[in-house]
């Protein structure tokens, strides 16, 4: 098979890395890719949002299968365009991708299907939004309706902070069209987890649980980011809780989308809050999470390509996947200043030594080669990922690799996995 992966982040590097291990793949391309992806695939200088360019190139190069990583081209309809051109693709159509493309659409569908989620309101008027906030009180959550690269969510601890988030989106237009409408919802108490599933339009295969770390700094302080680290499995997701998530959240969503004539195919990512009254859906993403993808694929034993193809072809009903029992953990290294303003072009050294740490793989996000040197070109730059016998050991390996990387202009959280390790340390003895 000749496969094209679309995207340039750590998620896409992990996908390329996993696809490269498949014996049924002859050639891998990535558009546009990055310095790490270039180790496994031929990078093609076409932007992920250049739908015309991707379709034209895929047809010319006789690509057998396209795997789309980021959400923006999915929401824009890249799968529709490729399939219309006769190119098989992994991912949802634009109609199905609305589950992520519009948080309001997602919330309305959850209400219709009885999927447990936070109480909410939808607003495009600042005065009405602030009245809702005043009536509900704080803490409260303010979300842009459209795509905002993981940065359109404000967990407001005060009414004043919530009102500022409303003004930033609706009046100051900080998020452009993505913030022209807001979803404002109740704050849910509990512990978050990520549940991903391959979906073929009717059936789904659930992947192991994971947990992301959104805030920029240790102790879950600072602004939200696209994700500063992840681990899998998440101890908060017991087998019983996972079954409940499948029954009350995933199954009605997959059935509901099919009933509405928008069958979902691809990866459906459910952001879950484990509350005292059961799991509740925080949000849906319509693609692999980043960095959850890196963490999960580090644990994958099976060939990923048949799973991707089966999702597209509607053949998941009796599909099974094999996973390493050992947990995995990813530490994201980012440019100082991220998720705000950051400099580009700094040099990253000693990556080979870091990658030689036992059980470690390093996935590139914002990197490029310039004059023979590896340079940082983005906010999130590297995903240092490790697998080991325990989450604590995986974290130790990941940070050992991090500490070998010579990049003064970068930073990372030093507490990835703290919830899992604390939870496991506090379990009663089996003796």
Query: CA triplet 382, 231, 396: central angle to 5 degrees?
Result: 75
Supply the pLDDT for residue 206. Answer: 98
Polymer length in residues for the chain: 431
Q: What's the average model confidence in pLDDT over 384-390?
A: 98
Strand duo 153-156 + 140-144: pairing? antiparallel
The reply to whether omega before 426 is within 30° of 0 (cis) is no
Least confident of 231-235, 303-307, 309-313, 420-424: 420-424
Q: In what order do the strands lie in the sheet with 204-206?
A: 204-206, 191-200, 265-275, 278-285
Render pLDDT for 16-25 as a digit per residue (tens, 0 to 9).
999 999 999 9
- How many angstroms separate the CA atoms of 180 and 277, rounded? 33
Supply the pLDDT for residue 150. Answer: 65
Render pLDDT for 229-270 as a digit per residue (tens, 0 to 9).
999 999 999 999 999 999 999 999 999 999 999 999 999 999
Q: What's the average model confidence in pLDDT over 168-194?
A: 93
Query: CA triplet 280, 282, 285: central angle to 5 degrees?
Result: 125
Does 49 have pLDDT greater than 80? yes
Query: How confident is residue 430, by pLDDT bands cut at 50, 70 and 90?
Result: very low
Tell which residue, 213, 224, 220, 211, has the closest CA to residue 272: 211
- How many angstroms separate the CA atoms of 106 and 283, rounded? 8
Phi-psi region of 18 (alpha: psi -120 to 50; beta: other; left: phi over 0): alpha
What number does CATH give the domain 125-180? Answer: 3.30.1490.20
Fold of 191-313: D-amino Acid Aminotransferase; Chain A, domain 1 (3.30.470)
Render pLDDT for 343-374 as a digit per residue (tens, 0 to 9).
999 999 999 999 999 999 999 999 999 999 99
> CA quadruple 112, 118, 124, 126: dihedral positive or negative?
positive
Domains 191-313 and 328-425 share a fold: no
What is the percentage of the chain residues whose pLDDT exceeds 70?
Answer: 98
Q: What's the average model confidence in pLDDT over 162-176?
A: 93
What number does CATH give the domain 2-94? Answer: 3.40.50.20
Q: What's the average model confidence in pLDDT over 215-233?
A: 94
Q: What's the average model confidence in pLDDT over 108-115?
A: 97
3-class secondary structure, 6 = strand
Least confident of 149-158, 175-184, 190-199: 149-158
Render pLDDT for 56-103 as a digit per residue (tens, 0 to 9).
999 999 999 999 999 999 999 999 999 999 999 999 999 999 999 999
| Domain spans in the chain, listed from the N-terminal domain onward | 2-94, 125-180, 191-313, 328-425
Supply the pLDDT for residue 276. Answer: 93
Tell which residue, 58, 75, 72, has the closest CA to residue 5: 58
Contacts of 373 (CB under 8 A, 6+ apart): 347
Class at the top of the CATH hierarchy for domain 328-425: alpha beta
Query: How confident is residue 148, by pLDDT bands cut at 50, 70 and 90?
Result: confident
- How many angstroms separate the CA atoms of 145 and 100, rounded? 9
- How many angstroms separate the CA atoms of 25 and 39, rounded? 16
Q: What's the average model confidence in pLDDT over 273-292?
A: 96
The reply to whether omega before 139 is within 30° of 0 (cis) is yes
Phi, psi (deg, nearest 5) at residue 11: -60, -45
Render pLDDT for 126-137 as a digit per residue (tens, 0 to 9).
999 999 999 999
Supply the pLDDT for residue 431. Answer: 37
């Amino acid at each position: 098979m000749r496969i094209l992966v679309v995207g340039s982040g750590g998620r896409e590097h992990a996908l390329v890395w996993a696809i490269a291990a498949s014996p049924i793949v002859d050639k891998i391309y990535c558009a546009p890719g990055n310095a790490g992806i270039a180790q496994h695939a031929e990078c093609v200088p076409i932007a992920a949002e250049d739908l015309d360019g991707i379709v034209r190139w895929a047809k010319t190069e006789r690509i057998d299968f396209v795997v789309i990583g980021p959400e923006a081209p999915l929401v824009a309809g890249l799968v529709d365009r490729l399939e219309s051109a006769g190119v098989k693709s992994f991912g949802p159509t634009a109609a199905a991708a609305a589950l992520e493309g519009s948080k309001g659409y997602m919330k309305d569908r959850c209400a219709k299907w009885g999927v447990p989620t936070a109480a909410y309101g939808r607003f495009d008027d600042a005065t009405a939004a602030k009245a809702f906030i005043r009536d509900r009180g704080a803490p409260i959550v303010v979300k842009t309706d459209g795509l905002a690269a993981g940065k359109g969510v404000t967990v407001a601890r005060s009414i004043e902070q919530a009102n500022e988030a409303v003004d930033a989106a609706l009046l100051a237009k900080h998020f452009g069209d993505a913030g022209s409408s807001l979803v404002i919802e109740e704050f849910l108490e509990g512990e978050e987890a990520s549940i991903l599933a391959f979906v073929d339009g009717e059936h789904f295969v659930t992947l192991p649980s994971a947990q992301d770390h959104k805030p920029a700094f240790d102790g879950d302080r600072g602004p939200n980011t696209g994700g500063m680290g992840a681990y899998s499995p998440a101890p908060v997701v017991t087998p019983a809780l996972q079954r409940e998530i499948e029954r009350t959240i995933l199954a009605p969503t997959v059935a509901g989308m099919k009933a509405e004539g928008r069958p979902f195919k691809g990866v459906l990512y459910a952001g879950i809050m484990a509350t005292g009254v059961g799991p509740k859906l925080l949000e849906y993403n319509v693609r692999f999470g980043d960095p959850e993808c890196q963490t999960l694929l580090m644990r994958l034993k099976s060939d990923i390509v048949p799973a991707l193809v089966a999702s597209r072809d509607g053949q998941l009903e009796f599909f099974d996947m094999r996973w390493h029992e050992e947990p995995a953990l990813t530490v994201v290294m980012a440019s100082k200043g991220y998720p705000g303003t950051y400099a580009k072009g700094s040099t990253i050294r000693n990556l080979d030594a870091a990658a030689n740490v036992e059980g470690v793989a390093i996935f590139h996000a914002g990197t490029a080669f310039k004059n023979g040197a590896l340079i940082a070109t983005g906010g999130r730059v590297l995903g240092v990922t490790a697998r080991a016998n325990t989450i604590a050991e995986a974290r130790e390996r990941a940070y050992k690799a991090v500490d070998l990387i010579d990049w003064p202009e970068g930073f990372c959280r030093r507490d990835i996995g703290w919830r899992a390790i604390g939870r496991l340390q506090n379990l009663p003895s089996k003796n």
